Amino acid sequence: MIYLDHAATAPVPRAVADAMYQVLTEQYGNPSSQYPFGSEMKKRAESWRRAVAALLDCPAEGLHFTSCGTEGDNWALRAAVWQNRHVGNHIVTTAVEHSAVLECCKWLEREGWEVTYLAPDQDGNLSAEQVLEAVRPDTAAVSVMLVNNELGNRYPVGAIARGLAARNPKTLLHTDAVQGLGTFSAKDLGADFVTVSAHKIGGPKGVGALYMGPRVKNPRPLLAGGGQERGLRSGTEATAQLAGFAKAAELRLERRTEIQGRLAGLKAHALDRLLGFPDLTVLGGVSSDTAPHILALSLAGWPSQNMVNDLGAQGICISAGSACHQGKPSHVVAALKLPKRMASGVIRLSFGPETTEAEIDACVQALRRHHDSRMPML
């Protein structure tokens, strides 16, 4: 199998699986238990928190474990508007956010909040100025993702954070940084809420984290119960998942520079192999402002799901957009307002540290065979 869908989820290294297995079979105590076995697990949970915080470059006391990026996004938005409920009822976000943000915003609209959805240009780009111009005196929260999960565009979260200090210093800033985990410093980024997830960097599914910065005051608890996660997210800690997340974070931190260089090289190789490919357009631009592990393409006239199915039958895994859409049309592609033939032919290749140039070559060859053996859509 050739796996080129790392933006959907990443394979779990053996070291991560081993760390989880040890907790499941030997270190299975409940961190809330009051005897030494439980107390030891409490200490381990805090050490795992520090490991993940090190990758984010944030204080461990501001990092709260969650079950996934979706939970983190929902928690951040609801905590932000709750804190700023006396500032106003306006939210600014983008039309290309992850569904977790957009669906939460729709919930908030039904509860009386006003949401401004900013559209990118046809390359998927958004400027900090575009975001800041939408901020008003009654803007409670701004939510802009760090890296778009379908296009790979990086958005200027740091510049937005700096601009908010002058535009409206009370407005709280959230960023979904799931696709950028391991590439940024939360301290330098300046966002008040930063959402991340383990399974994009080789950790297990079912665990993520939400960093809350110093401007977040008395955040509204996500769940009521036994008071875990400093009283903000009750529920017995998923210790095996935490151990796996921590190990994945440690591995990524150790190889961060190497991995980013390798991913950039793989993307450059793919772009080189795609030169001269008929009817093909690279989306999201090819500048340094795009993430090195995501490459969005359009084969105008050839339906994306047909390509996914054809290559899948050959053992090559690519995507027609975010796996979270579950086959639904992509709101990200719709926001670009591309011509119909181009929009219907969008696919995503996404790479990981173990991806090889030979695998990319095989994928490009399969796409060429698909193009040459099928009639285009009118």
Active site (catalytic) residues: 324
Burial class for 67, CB neighbours closer than 10 Å (0-12, 13-18, 19+): middle
Confidence of residue 205 (pLDDT cuts 50, 70, 90): very high
Residue 224 clears pLDDT 90, i.e. is over it: no
Domain boundaries of the chain, sorted by first residue: 2-10+256-373, 14-254
Residue 7 clears pLDDT 80, i.e. is over it: yes
What is this structure's pTM?
Answer: 0.96
Confidence of residue 211 (pLDDT cuts 50, 70, 90): very high
* Mean pLDDT across 82-111: 97
Residue 365 clears pLDDT 80, i.e. is over it: yes
pLDDT at 26 (0 to 100): 96
Residue 325 clears pLDDT 80, i.e. is over it: no
In 3-state terms, what secondary structure has residue 88?
A: coil
Q: How many CB atoms lie within 10 A of CB 185?
A: 12
Contacts of 169 (CB under 8 A, 6+ apart): none
Best CA proximity match to 153, nearest among 182, 190, 123:
123
CATH class of the 14-254 domain in this structure: alpha beta
Residue 324 clears pLDDT 60, i.e. is over it: no
pLDDT at 328 (0 to 100): 61
Q: Is 192:172 a contact under the CB 8 Å cutoff?
A: yes
pLDDT digits (tens, 9 = 90+) for 53-75: 999 999 999 999 999 999 999 99
pLDDT digits (tens, 9 = 90+) for 343-360: 999 999 999 999 999 999
Phi then psi dihedrals of residue 10, to 5 deg: -115, 150
Percentage of residues in the chain having pLDDT higher than 70: 96
What letter would DSSP give residue 11? P
Q: Is 270:58 a contact under the CB 8 Å cutoff?
A: no
Confidence of residue 45 (pLDDT cuts 50, 70, 90): very high
pLDDT at 166 (0 to 100): 95
Q: What is 2-10+256-373's CATH number, 3.90.1150.10, 3.30.70.3340, 3.40.50.300, 1.20.120.10? A: 3.90.1150.10
User: How far is the C-alpha of 209 from the C-alpha of 62, rounded, in Å?
Assistant: 10
pLDDT digits (tens, 9 = 90+) for 122-139: 999 999 999 999 999 999
End-to-end CA distance of the chain: 32
Residue 288 clears pLDDT 80, i.e. is over it: no
pLDDT at 242 (0 to 100): 98
Burial class for 64, CB neighbours closer than 10 Å (0-12, 13-18, 19+): buried
- Range scoring the smallest mean pLDDT among 6-15, 178-187, 229-238, 283-292: 283-292
Burial class for 84, CB neighbours closer than 10 Å (0-12, 13-18, 19+): buried
| CA separation, residue 104 to residues 24, 97, 111, 119 (Å) | 34, 11, 11, 18
Percentage of residues in the chain having pLDDT higher than 90: 90
User: How far is the C-alpha of 57 from the C-alpha of 67, rounded, in Å?
Assistant: 21
User: How far is the C-alpha of 52 from the C-alpha of 198, rounded, in Å?
Assistant: 9
